[in-house]
Amino acid sequence: MTTEVPTIRLNNGTTIPQLGLGVWQAEDAETESIVRYALAEAGYRHIDTASAYANEAGVGRGIATSGVSREDIFVTTKLWNADQGFEPALKAFDASLDRLGLEYVDLYLIHWPLQNEDRLLRTWEAFEQIAESGRARAIGVCNFEPHHLALLVNRGGVVPAVDQVELHPNLPQDEIRVAAADYGITVESWSPLGGTSGSGWGRHSKPNALLDDPILSRIATQHGKSVAQVIIRWHLQSGLVVIPKSVHEERITQNIDVFDFELTAGDIDEIAGLNNGARVGIHPDKMNLGAPD
């Protein structure tokens, strides 16, 4: 099955499929089979992993056995906090490519900003060198607040292509979206369905209450779609790149089956009312997990 997923042009001229498969919390072995299924059966062409997910090798095996050409797949991975700094970042990137079994990634992202801004800027210098080498087709960041984006942009040099942040109807991240638009940075949504409640891990994790929301449920019924499909459509119609995660084949298929309906302006207005600022992840200004200093 092939599905025409729209692409978005990044600020360096490369393009990213607007919908991809996220694999956070998927174990390495099951990652291989879900990535293969997503590519070979469900029509995905964009996979989002990270060195901290400990499943890059599974992503690589899934790609290798999918039968889909490497150049037709958009692959993102991320640098973990412990590897920030110039030399550590270069080394960590090599290790990620090795685990993935790839010669290049399409997008390499700094996973979190650091409190230590000097080290963060040295990391970005390494990213620029990696981009220059062609082994990452684009470079970007995750979890950057407007002040972190300003730090990189004001330095001169490469402007991040992407800022991947926690973003869903409870947390639409308006300020980050305005700042990113000013800089020409594309915003990607992680935990786009509202993430997990923190109870359990992998197959045992439980989706957040957003998937049971009565307003979303009514909109879903009106369109003959699921709540997850309505939320994914909201991201797409908001111009965001969206990477819903699932380890279940039927959900992976369902989450890309979103191109035969459209939310109305009234639906979008109602969904705007779900903004309550609730986040499932740590606020980036408070996050320094694993950082060297």
Element of type H or E holding 275:
none
223: contact with ligand A2P by CB under 6 A: no
- Closer Cβ to ligand A2P, 17 or 207, answer by number: 207
- Closer Cβ to ligand A2P, 9 or 259, answer by number: 259
Q: CB under 6 A: which stretch of 9-17, 36-44, 79-87, 238-246 binds ligand A2P?
A: 238-246
20: contact with ligand A2P by CB under 6 A: no
The rounded distance, in Å, linking the Cα atoms of 16 and 138 is 10
The rounded distance, in Å, linking the Cα atoms of 109 and 50 is 9
Question: Which entry of 37, 44, 53, 108 is annotated as an active-site residue?
Answer: 53
244: contact with ligand A2P by CB under 6 A: yes
Kindly tell me the burial class for residue 121, based on how many C-beta atoms sit within 10 Å of its own C-beta (0-12, 13-18, 19 or more).
middle
State whether residue 22 is helix, strand or coil. strand
Build a one-symbol-per-residue string for 29-48: x at contacts with ligand A2P by CB under 6 A, - elsewhere.
--------------------
Residue from the set 55, 123, 173, 255 that interacts with ligand A2P by CB under 6 A = 255
The rounded distance, in Å, linking the Cα atoms of 200 and 207 is 10
- DSSP secondary structure string for all residues of 220-274: HHHHT--HHHHHHHHHHHTT-EE--B-S-HHHHHHHH--SS----HHHHHHHHTT
The verdict on whether 53 is a catalytic residue reads: yes
| Minimum distance from residue 49 beta carbon to ligand A2P (Å) | 13
Residue 75's DSSP bridge partners are 47
**Do 79 and 92 meet the contact criterion of CB atoms below 8 Å apart?**
yes
| Minimum distance from residue 248 beta carbon to ligand A2P (Å) | 4
Three-state secondary structure of 49-68 = CCHHHCCHHHHHHHHHCCCC
- Closer Cβ to ligand A2P, 205 or 217, answer by number: 205
The rounded distance, in Å, linking the Cα atoms of 252 and 245 is 8
Beta strand spans in 58-175 (E) = 74-79, 107-110, 139-142, 162-166
| Minimum distance from residue 255 beta carbon to ligand A2P (Å) | 5
| Residues 135-194 interacting with ligand A2P (rule: CB under 6 A) | 191-194
Residue from the set 22, 85, 88, 284 that interacts with ligand A2P by CB under 6 A = 22
Element of type H or E holding 131:
helix 117-133
Q: CB under 6 A: which stretch of 2-10, 205-213, 256-264, 284-292 binds ligand A2P?
A: 205-213
| Minimum distance from residue 246 beta carbon to ligand A2P (Å) | 3
The rounded distance, in Å, linking the Cα atoms of 87 and 126 is 7
Q: CB under 6 A: which stretch of 86-94, 180-188, 247-255, 269-277 binds ligand A2P?
A: 247-255
**For binding to ligand A2P (CB under 6 A), which residues are involved?**
22, 191-196, 205, 207, 211, 226, 228, 244-248, 251, 254-255
What residues are annotated to the active site?
53
